[in-house]
Amino acid sequence: MGNLKERVATLLGRLETSRIILVEWETSIQIRLGYPLVSNGSLFFLVPDDQLQRACDLAAELGLYPADENTLRPAYTSEFSNLADRYLIDDSARYPPNEGPPQRRLVLLPMSWAGITRDELVPISDEDNSHPILPCTVWTVPLPAACTAFVYIAARERRGSLLRSSLIEGLSSVISYNLFDVSYEGDYMEFPLNDEPLLYKKISEIENTMAEINCWVFMNGKE
């Protein structure tokens, strides 16, 4: 039944027909929130817990089965959660398969892992052309909900773990690119020394950022 890429496209269409909710995650949502990452075309979705098994069953009907770590090396933060169902998008012609850049993948995760609820979901605008068009509806969450999810996941992880460190890095980057001026002049960015007094502009920027975060509206129990 076609190659892997065709079967993944068919799967996305069947998920749409089955009304299975897909919420963008990982690279896709970070790019949408302003973090200038480059995607290789991998797809990461949060799926409501009560729909996740159905999504995996639809994949199996098309001959798509979760890849093990020998076939598909974990390379993205969410893949270290031990909760991800991971599928190859492209037929692998790489020998050995885990050398070189990360292979494209489709990753499905339970929505409860991120602590996100259906009430927080918002549709992606039809006019949004920041990502390739897919044969399915994809939802997203606004900045406050995304940042809360990063904190929610990181707080459960062991200090110093790769997953926790990656989540904190992602959270810091999303907040920085959304709420701070990260532009610079010249060939590189200069970082002040730890004992160097902050400029008034930076102090004001920090105060404004804290004021904005304090105005964020959270779902009940997430404050």
Residue 222, domain member (yes or no): no
**Residue 4 pLDDT grade (very low, low, confident, very high; cuts 50, 70, 90):** confident
Distance CA 161, CA 87 (A): 25
Residue 221, domain member (yes or no): no
DSSP code, position 177: H
pLDDT by residue (tens digit) across 116-153?
999 999 988 766 666 667 888 999 999 989 999 998 99
Residues 6+ apart with CB under 8 A from 13: 135, 136
DSSP code, position 23: E
Tokens of 77: 């933060």
Residue 202, domain member (yes or no): yes
pLDDT by residue (tens digit) across 70-105?
888 899 999 999 999 999 998 765 556 556 678 899
Residue 35, domain member (yes or no): yes
Tell me the CATH number at 133: 3.30.460
DSSP code, position 117: -
**Cβ atoms 61, 17 nearer than 8 A:** no
Number of domains in the chain: 1
Residue 127, domain member (yes or no): yes
Cα–Cα–Cα angle for 73, 80, 161, rounded to 5 degrees: 120
Residue 223, domain member (yes or no): no
Q: At what angle do helices 162-179 and 200-214 cross, to 10 degrees?
A: 110
Instruction: Give, for 27, the enclosing helix (H) or strand (E).
Output: helix 27-32
Tokens of 162: 């790769």
Cα-only R_g, the chain: 19
Tokens of 21: 């909710």
Residue 101, domain member (yes or no): yes
Domain with 91, as residue range(s), is 4-214
**Cβ atoms 149, 129 nearer than 8 A:** no
**Residue 53 pLDDT grade (very low, low, confident, very high; cuts 50, 70, 90):** very high
Name the nearest CA neighbour of 25 among 11, 7, 42, 8: 42
Q: What is the mean pLDDT of residues 53-64?
A: 96
Burial degree of 123 (CB within 10 A; 0-12, 13-18, 19+): exposed
Residue 219, domain member (yes or no): no
Distance CA 219, CA 148 (A): 10
Task: Return the pLDDT at 138.
Answer: 92
Q: What is the pTM of this model?
A: 0.81
Tokens of 185: 């002049």
